[in-house]
Structure 1
Amino acid sequence: MTIARQDAWTQDEDLLLAEVVLRHIREGSTQLKAFEEVGKQLSRTSAACGFRWNSFVRKQYKSGVELAKKQRKEQGVRDTSFKAEVKEDVMESNEQEIATEWIRETPSTPSTTLQEVISYLTKMDESFRHDREEKERSSQRSYYLEQENERLREENGLLRDNLRVVEEDYRALMQIMERARKLSVLEDEKLNPKVSFQMDKNGNLERVNK
Structure 2
Amino acid sequence: MVASRQDAWTDDDDLVLAEVTLRHIRDGGTQLAAFEEVGQRLGRTAAACGFRWNSAVRKRYDAAIAIAKGQRQQLKKNGRAVTAAVRTEFATEAPPSLPQSPPVVTPAATATIVPEMPEPIAGDTESELDAAIRVLMNQKELSRRVKQLEIELANNQMQLKEVREENQRLKKDMETVQDVNEDYKALVQIMERARKLAFLKEEESAKPVFKMDSNGNLERIE
Using the size of structure 1 for normalisation, the TM-score is 0.40
User: RCO greater where, 1 or 2, for CA within 8 Å and sep 6 or more?
Assistant: 1
